[in-house]
Amino acid sequence: MHTGFFWDERCFWHSGGNYALTLPVGGYVQPLSGAGLPESPETKRRLKNLMDVSGLSNDLEMRSAPEATRTDLERVHPPSFLDRFKAQSDAGGGELGLRTPFGQGGYEIAALSAGLAKDAVLAVLEGDMDNAYALSRPPGHHCLPDWPNGFCLLANIAIAIEAAKSQGLAKRVAVIDWDVHHGNGTEAIFWDRDDVLTVSLHQAHNYPLDTGDIDARGVGAGYGHNINIPLPPGAGHATYIYAMERIVLPALHTYAPDLVIVACGYDASAFDPLGRMMATAQTFRDMTRLVMQAADALCGGKLVMVHEGGYSEAYVPFCGHAVLEQLSGSLMHVPDPMAKTLEQRQPDIRFEQFAKDQIDEMAETLLKL
């Protein structure tokens, strides 16, 4: 298996503002002793560090990429937004949307993050690699065309898709988003189109509070090509795998894409400060295996993972390593140090049945078309 890994040290230099988790500091909100925003560089840097220490990096083709060009960005974002972003970045930084602080040079770092996703997609579609992983930072799946939010400054995956389409490399793309938060930005960008299938598997009403319900299906040509799977808090490993098998995989097979992209957030893990789910490193490994099998059957294995959220500095590296072990077929195995504990903490069979019943009900609605 020839797997690419796209990363750049400069993405770790993206800086956030003066927050306590997601609360702006001030009034009665005391500053934290650490970095402030949970979207810090350490989760991603520590994943890369673990890969280097384990030897997994030696089994991957490590690459950087140039920044996405202005032409790339304008396929998704209006010039007026990009001009405001660039001007504020040059002036020292600030915040354009909701919970999207950045420092000086933030525009260029965000364009680099999008460039990593873009080049990963192009490398796979051009046959240079079997599959690829982009360690993009800042993330992108919450960013609307003209409104950044939820730590996301540019719509990385949408930018990559439009770049591929502009070169005639793909006609139909499926995006599977298993970040714990709803992929509202990706949904909005492709809301009225049938050339991109968007599937978001997320904790119900976590973030944003008002999006991600199952009745949000798209409009016009896009109707039925947007699928939301809101899961109850505490869902756990078995529920995630059941949702993948019951809804996500059938939707993929019906759509038959030329390329599958995973918005690969790890904030559904049991230790994440911004999620209330109980996923484990094995959960992410197994979901990767299932998506790889579907991609093998549908599009010659063309699969790209683009890193999104995940805010546990201790646990994200193990989740990411498990995904990359599976993606690459590497024998460099790192055991999950919390596996036995998390097996004991999984929901009991009664909760699992409750969640499966909900997923079955959603499947009856979502898979009709």
Exposed/middle/buried for residue 249 (C-beta within 10 Å: 0-12, 13-18, 19+)? middle
Q: How far apart are CA 294 and CA 263, in angstroms?
A: 16
Extract the tokens encoding 172: 């139909």
The backbone torsions φ and ψ at residue 169, rounded to the nearest 5 degrees and listed phi first, read -90, -15
Token pair listed for 211: 């999006």
Contact yes or no for 253/245 (Cβ under 8 A): no
CA neighbor of 203 nearest in space, from 183, 189, 217: 183
Give the other-Cβ count within 10 Å of 17's Cβ.
16
Catalytic residue among 14, 77, 142, 307: 142
Concerning whether 307 is annotated as a catalytic residue, the answer is no
How far CA 259 is from CA of 196, 289, 300, 315, in Å, comes to 10, 16, 9, 29
Hey, is 90 helix, strand or coil? helix
Angle (CA) 119-229-288 rounded to 5° is 45
DSSP secondary structure, 291-333, as one string: HHHHHHHHHTT-EEEEE-----TTTHHHHHHHHHHHHHT-S--
Residues 246 and 360: beta-carbon distance below 8 Å: yes
- Reading phi first (left if > 0) and then psi (alpha if -120 to 50, else beta), residue 334 is in beta
What residues are annotated to the active site?
A: 142
